[in-house]
Structure 1
Amino acid sequence: MLLSGGLDSSVLAYLMRPPVCVTVRYRGQDRLDESWIAAAIARDIGAELVVVEPDTADFTTVLLHMINALDYPRGNAAVFSECMAYRAIAARGIKVVVGGLGPDEFLMGYVRQALVLFGPEAVLDAGLESYRPLAGKLLHTAGSRWSRRRPSPG
């Protein structure tokens, strides 16, 4: 099972109790590292945790493979991490893997959760200025009128 340490994969790990969990982390990226959460969950459910730490050499090695596997130019920052996790899974002979994609989006996504839990100032102060319009829509005062009108072109 892919276990990031986020809400989605953590819930699935507790429900499924897989024997092996795989997480990806990057050296020097402590702010984004959830492997310590994945380790705690794996320990709690009695699963082996495989921690994959890709580097630039790994990226150059798998880049052409990723492009060919995707078959068309698409993707996001997670594609490389997922590719490295799947390679570690395949190397162990595991044929079926479950990921946690979906529940966090069902619950409005991490940034939206942060807007509600910590307030728009915390999100904007973290450098996520592009979420300002969403903050206005999500956090308008209950019972107040919210205009769906688009601004007139000026």
Structure 2
Amino acid sequence: MYTHVLSFAALAAALVAAAGPADAQVRRGHVVAGRSAAGHGFAQWRSASRQPGSATVRRGLQTSDGRGYRHERSRDHGSGHYSADRSTQFNNGRGATTSRDANWGDGSFNGSRTTSLNNGNSFGRTTSATNNGDGTANYSSTLTGPQGATRTVSGTVPHRP
């Protein structure tokens, strides 16, 4: 079993070092492999890749008895947009992925957040707002539950003198 952990650690180290450097990009990572006091082997890793406007971080843990997880988060932003994704997956099949997106400009905003579970359920919300140009704004927000039920709230924000 320990040889599997060491080969997994070698694979993780190769993945961290495989990609070549790009312009204005920073890549960092590390891998730790060893044995616990009880004699169980483990491999733990982390890598990060950053460049202007975006970043990705990955980390994980694998044990010689088959337990472990991997987590990844990334973000991308610029003028008028933002997106972020997070995913955590466990060796036992459980896990979740969350995505957030937002766009704005020309007096409007659209945003969403969705979480998807490995069992097929998902839930989240979407929100939009629009400036009417007369000091008022319209908004709408829809929530979706894990069983598929939705609820929408919408209205107009009045002008305040």
Q: Name the TM-score class by shorter chain.
A: under 0.3
Bigger radius of gyration among the two? 2
Higher RCO structure, 1 or 2 (CA under 8 Å, sep 6+)? 1
Give TM-score, length-normalised by structure 1: 0.21
Give TM-score, length-normalised by structure 2: 0.20
